[in-house]
């Protein structure tokens, strides 16, 4: 393995990049049309800057369109697009309107290093606005990607410390607001498991063919900049035009929609379509394509300025993080953690950190690290630990909430950032506050439940009556461990309604962290589907970790649907089964091994496997199977007494509204006792031993040959 | 198929596998040769069906096609813009796949 370093010095600020994929575009077709589009894209996105020796297609387009620091009334059109229109001979009235200059609002750049190193390509006007840079805002990670590209392709000379300084300035002054950053958190957190299915279909098909939409959510731009983003894609990866940008309807001869036609010029090249279809929307013989429609939406939804960002910009101050934070977290496969984070300020926005965790197995872990705080809401840090069995180095991505009292985020590591810990943090204070509860899942009825309350400011003298969990739930005892942890002994009366309950302390309202259930209806595997990549030669393997969580049927009385209520994780035995897709499917033999005790899947080695048909890679689909035996309460149900003949017919519902024989509507094997009859409702539950089994899907797939994240971007 | 002749080992394997099979629609999955399939529009990691069956495999066979055509610029180094020399260290990825480089943009 011989990396291709951008910066031999190992720039900590610049080395880290976008993990999922900062580049775009794919197409397999090579045709004359593609060549023509490539030329058009290159011309449009890459018009030569007269003064700049570098050839940044973004910067050049921007310079061309923004040489005077203004834009036309047709805000956002590139210079070439305007030239095309005037060649077409638009009416004098339209041309006059376009010639009318309107000020282009931007964010001045006031950093000597950026002014010095970037001005070669990014012209600076009298107000301090620099082309491209002043008209976009991004997360720290997104700015790093941009800086790295400038270093890689346009020979920008920056030392590691300088690059870090540039990224930090831009992330501060040209960063996202809190809400904007929250929407892009899953990108910054480098999550492996997320879903963008609810996002706009056009947006997904245009952008997410190659990278996550988190990349898009990590940026805010004005209209012209969004269009230049498309030009950049076309210049750097010209085949993206056919593969993704055009969209099927555009390929078929014209855009399908005209809703954004008034604001979206044609920034791309494209194959010719009849003039009647292109009139008014394009100067290149093609109507707006899917990317244009998406850009129009992004312009309105992710514009350069937002009220929240303006407010923050006016009220900006250093948000103090120093002090103690209470931590509550969960690591898949390893259970909960609780503890503290102590932050010590060493400079403006820079902290030394000390994490002290208590694991589920009772082990105490101390981690030391550093971190930076961006834009008043975003923490980026790193901590290390040499304790055996602990993840040695963890990156930290946290978001501070509006009240400055809570943070949440992910700590992660792994070749593909696949090993992570979800954490919530609460600023320690003298005001009693409950952050969360461990062991808050209790059967109805039950006695002797021991739950641990995690929070802050618990006074030394605490009695059981200080805690309120609702009618029918009695706190029999309270034992204060320290100001952040209290153990409770709780009983639950019979007949208490099932569902969520809040836990309150004296006059302080707490979270709905108590769950009451009658019995366990099944177990589920998370994550599902699991995801792993073969490796070991070209780059390390991507591991996957599983855990099983018990659940009870929800209010609808039917298990295995969205109404189910997840309870606690449970110990299980793990195994793999074939996921048959084709006759003779043999993936199970080759994809890797699942530890039967820990639920950790280790994929097989990468590369062609001569033992497989066609020397296929060791990729494939398998089932992950979890089995366990638990002693659970037998469900107490009252059979419906039919009021009349009609109701006693085949409607299948009992007196509680529960569907009889609900398990028949599912394919899960553990539903066999979902509606067991029948005992008096007020009698103590009979404990029965049940076997549970669940299956999940595991995909073992190919590696990625580009490592966008070198995991060093916050090291000092 | 009378106008198509198998010229390499893999093609002959395919031919042998379906020898005697009538031209019929299904099972479709068995008919699709390994490799990129425009019908299925496979993604890099997961195919259109949410699994791995429709993916290129072995990926090393198709890797340089992706490289030269910028087909997966986020997953494979692209020859056009960023990594023009990537293929130098490995001339035949199917045979010499262990010398394929990981790049760090």
> Chain A contacts of B58, Cβ < 8 Å?
607-609, 614-617
Question: What 3-state class would DSSP assign to B77?
Answer: coil
* B-proximal residues of A, 508-547, CB under 8 Å: 529, 531, 533, 537-539
Residue with tokens 């595997």: A525
pLDDT at A641: 52
pLDDT band at residue B57 under the 50/70/90 scheme: confident
Average model confidence (pLDDT) for chain A? 79
B47 included as an active-site residue: no
CATH code linked to domain A455-517: 2.60.40
Lowest mean pLDDT among A147-156, A260-269, A681-690, B52-61: A260-269
C-alpha A319/C-alpha A255 separation (Å) is: 47
pLDDT at A351: 98
Domain extents in chain A: 32-89+98-310, 323-427, 455-517, 522-701
Angle subtended by helix axes A160-173 and A140-154, to nearest 10: 130
Task: Say yes or no: A39 contacts chain B, CB-CB below 8 A.
Answer: no
Residue A37 contacts residue A271 (beta carbons within 8 Å) = yes
* Distance separating the N- and C-terminal Cα atoms of chain A: 26
Tell me what the mean pLDDT of segment A100-110 comes to.
Answer: 87
Q: Which of A604, A619, A708, A696 is nearest to B46 (CA)?
A: A619
What are A131's two structure tokens? Answer: 């082309």
> Strand A446-456 and strand A433-438: pairing?
antiparallel
**Residue A429 contacts by C-beta under 8 Å, 6 or more apart in sequence?**
A405, A456, A457
Residue A3 contacts residue A704 (beta carbons within 8 Å) = no
Partner residue facing A23 (CB), from B27, B38, B73: B73
> Chain B contacts of A701, Cβ < 8 Å?
45-46, 52, 55
**Residue B49 contacts by C-beta under 8 Å, 6 or more apart in sequence?**
B40
A404-A408-A413-A418 Cα dihedral, nearest 10 degrees: -150
**CA separation, residue A242 to residues A254, A257, A631 (Å):** 13, 18, 59
Q: Which CATH superfamily is domain A522-701 in?
A: Immunoglobulins (2.60.40.10)
Topology match between the domains A323-427 and A455-517: no
pLDDT at A683: 65
Number of H helices, E strands in chain B: 3, 0
Condensed to tens digits (0 to 9), the pLDDT of residues A465-508 reads 999 999 999 999 999 999 999 999 999 999 899 999 999 999 99
Tell me what the mean pLDDT of segment A423-429 comes to.
Answer: 97
Tell me what the mean pLDDT of segment B55-84 comes to.
Answer: 87
* A-proximal residues of B, 40-99, CB under 8 Å: 43-46, 50-53, 55-61, 63, 65-66, 69-78, 80-83, 85-86, 89, 94, 97-98
**Residue A346 contacts by C-beta under 8 Å, 6 or more apart in sequence?**
A352, A370
Q: Does the interface predicted TM-score (ipTM) exceed 0.85?
A: no
Partner residue facing B105 (CB), from A581, A608, A708: A708
A426-A432-A437-A443 Cα dihedral, nearest 10 degrees: -160
> Chain B contacts of A608, Cβ < 8 Å?
58, 60-61, 94, 97
Tell me what the mean pLDDT of segment A48-72 comes to.
Answer: 38
pLDDT at A2: 36
Tell me what the mean pLDDT of segment A407-419 comes to.
Answer: 95
pLDDT at A682: 57
What are A126's two structure tokens? Answer: 């009298």
Partner residue facing B76 (CB), from A5, A27, A706: A706
Sign (positive/negative) of CA torsion A244, A185, A703, A531?
Answer: negative
C-alpha A569/C-alpha A576 separation (Å) is: 20
- DSSP letter for each residue of A387-439: STTS-SEEEEEEEE-TTSSEEEEEEEESTTS-EEEEEEEEE--SS-EEEEEES
Condensed to tens digits (0 to 9), the pLDDT of residues A655-666 reads 333 333 333 334
Cβ contact A538–B29 (<8 Å) = no
Which run of H or E residues covers position A63? Answer: helix A57-65
What's the distance, CA A543 to chain centroid? 18
Residue from B23, B47, B62, B96 carrying the catalytic annotation: B62
Lowest mean pLDDT among A100-104, A548-552, A668-672, B84-88: A668-672
Query: What is chain A's Cα-based Rg?
Result: 29
Asked if the peptide bond before residue A236 counts as cis, ω within 30 degrees of 0, the response is no
Asked if the peptide bond before residue A445 counts as cis, ω within 30 degrees of 0, the response is yes
Condensed to tens digits (0 to 9), the pLDDT of residues A287-321 reads 678 999 999 999 999 999 999 999 999 989 999 99
> Chain A contacts of B75, Cβ < 8 Å?
21, 210, 704-706
pLDDT at A243: 78
C-alpha A674/C-alpha A613 separation (Å) is: 44
The DSSP output letter for A366 is: E
Q: Which of A518, A511, A441, A447 is nearest to A476 (CA)?
A: A447
pLDDT band at residue A263 under the 50/70/90 scheme: very low
Q: Which of A530, A529, A515, A518 is nearest to A566 (CA)?
A: A515
User: How many A/B residue pairs have CB atoms within 8 Å?
Assistant: 168
E strand map for A106-199:
136-138
Tell me what the mean pLDDT of segment A227-255 comes to.
Answer: 75
> Strand A467-468 and strand A323-331: pairing?
unpaired
Query: What is chain B's Cα-based Rg?
Result: 16
CA-based angle A114:A115:A118, to the nearest 5? 65
CATH code linked to domain A323-427: 2.40.128.120
**Residue A216 contacts by C-beta under 8 Å, 6 or more apart in sequence?**
A203, A207, A298, A302
Q: In chain B, what are the helix, strand and coil shares in percent, each to the nearest 5? A: 30, 0, 70
Percent of chain A with pLDDT over 70: 73
Residue A326 contacts residue A454 (beta carbons within 8 Å) = yes
Lowest mean pLDDT among A549-553, A630-634, B12-16: B12-16
Q: Which of A80, A350, A343 is nearest to A224 (CA)?
A: A80
Is the confidence at residue A673, as pLDDT, over 90? Answer: no
Task: Say yes or no: A579 contacts chain B, CB-CB below 8 A.
Answer: yes
């Amino acid at each position: 393995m011989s990396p291709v370093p951008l910066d031999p010095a190992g720039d900590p600020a610049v080395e880290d990049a976008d993990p999922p994929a900062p580049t775009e575009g794919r197409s397999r077709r090579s045709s004359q049309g593609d060549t023509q589009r490539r030329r058009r894209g290159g011309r449009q996105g890459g018009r030569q800057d007269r003064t700049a020796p570098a050839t940044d297609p973004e910067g050049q387009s921007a310079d061309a369109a923004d040489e005077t620091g203004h834009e036309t009334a047709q805000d956002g059109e590139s210079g070439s697009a305007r030239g095309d229109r005037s060649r077409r001979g638009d009416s004098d009235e339209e041309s006059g309107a376009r010639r009318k200059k309107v000020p282009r609002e931007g964010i001045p750049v006031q950093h000597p290093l950026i002014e010095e190193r970037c001005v070669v390509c990014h012209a600076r006007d009298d107000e301090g606005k620099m082309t491209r840079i002043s008209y976009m805002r991004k997360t720290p990670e997104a700015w790093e990607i941009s800086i790295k590209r400038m270093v890689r392709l346009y020979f920008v000379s920056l030392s590691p410390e300088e690059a870090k300084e540039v990224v930090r300035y831009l992330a501060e002054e040209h960063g996202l607001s809190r809400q904007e950053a929250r929407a892009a958190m899953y990108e910054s957190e480098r999550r492996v498991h997320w879903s963008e299915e609810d996002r706009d279909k056009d947006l997904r098909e245009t952008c997410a063919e190659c990278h996550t939409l988190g990349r898009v959510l990590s940026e805010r731009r004005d209209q012209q900049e969004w269009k230049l983003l498309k030009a950049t894609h076309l210049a750097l990866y010209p085949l993206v035009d056919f593969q993704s940008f055009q969209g099927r309807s555009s390929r078929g001869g014209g855009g399908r929609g005209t809703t954004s036609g008034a604001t979206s010029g044609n920034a791309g090249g494209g194959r010719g379509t009849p003039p009647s279809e292109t009139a008014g929307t394009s100067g290149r013989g093609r109507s707006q394509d899917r990317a244009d429609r998406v850009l129009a939406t992004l312009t309105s939804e992710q514009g350069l300025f937002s009220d929240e960002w303006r407010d923050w910009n006016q009220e900006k101050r250093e948000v103090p993080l120093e002090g103690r934070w209470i931590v509550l977290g969960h690591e898949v496969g390893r259970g909960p953690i609780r503890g503290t984070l102590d932050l010590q300020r060493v400079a403006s926005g820079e902290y030394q950190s000390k994490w002290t965790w208590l694991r589920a197995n009772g082990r105490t872990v101390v981690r030391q690290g550093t971190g930076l705080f961006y834009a008043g809401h975003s923490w980026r840090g790193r901590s290390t630990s040499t304790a055996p069995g602990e993840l040695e180095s963890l990156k930290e991505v946290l978001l501070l909430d509006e009240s400055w009292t809570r943070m949440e985020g992910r700590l992660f590591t792994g070749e593909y950032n696949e090993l992570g810990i979800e954490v919530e943090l609460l600023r320690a204070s003298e005001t009693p506050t409950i952050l969360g509860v461990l062991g808050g899942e209790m059967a109805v009825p039950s006695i002797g439940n021991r739950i641990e309350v995690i929070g802050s400011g618990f006074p030394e003298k605490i009695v059981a009556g200080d805690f309120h969990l609702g009618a029918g739930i009695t706190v029999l005892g309270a034992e204060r461990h320290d100001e952040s942890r209290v153990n409770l002994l709780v009983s639950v009366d019979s007949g208490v309604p099932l569902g969520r309950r809040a836990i309150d302390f004296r006059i302080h309202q707490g979270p709905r962290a108590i769950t009451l259930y009658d019995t366990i209806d099944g177990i589920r595997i998370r994550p599902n589907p699991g995801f792993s990549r073969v490796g070991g030669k070209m780059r390390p393997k991507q591991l996957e970790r599983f855990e099983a969580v018990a659940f009870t049927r929800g209010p609808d009385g039917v298990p295995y649907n969205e109404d189910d209520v997840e309870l606690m994780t449970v110990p299980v035995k793990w195994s793999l089964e074939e996921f048959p897709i084709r006759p003779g499917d043999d993936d199970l033999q080759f994809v890797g091994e699942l530890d039967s005790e820990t639920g950790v899947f280790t994929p097989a080695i990468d590369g062609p496997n001569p033992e497989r048909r066609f020397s296929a890679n060791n990729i494939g689909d398998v089932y992950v199977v979890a089995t366990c035996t638990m002693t659970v309460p037998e469900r107490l149900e009252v059979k419906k007494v039919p009021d009349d003949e009609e109701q006693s017919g085949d409607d299948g519902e009992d007196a509680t509204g529960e569907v009889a024989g609900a398990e028949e509507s599912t394919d899960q094997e553990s539903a066999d006792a979902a509606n067991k009859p029948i005992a008096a409702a007020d009698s103590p539950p009979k404990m029965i031993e049940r076997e549970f089994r669940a299956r999940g899907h595991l995909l073992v797939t190919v590696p990625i040959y580009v490592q966008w994240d070198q995991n060093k971007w916050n090291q000092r | 198929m009378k106008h198509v002749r198998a010229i390499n080992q893999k093609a002959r394997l395919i031919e042998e596998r379906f020898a005697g099979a009538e031209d019929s629609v299904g099972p479709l999955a068995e008919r699709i040769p390994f490799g990129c399939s425009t019908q299925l529009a496979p993604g890099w990691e997961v195919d259109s069906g949410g699994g791995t069956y429709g993916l290129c495999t072995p990926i090393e066979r198709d890797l340089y096609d992706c490289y030269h055509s910028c087909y997966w610029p986020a997953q494979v180094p692209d020859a056009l813009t960023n990594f023009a020399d990537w293929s130098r260290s490995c001339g035949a990825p199917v045979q010499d796949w262990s010398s394929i480089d990981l790049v760090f943009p």
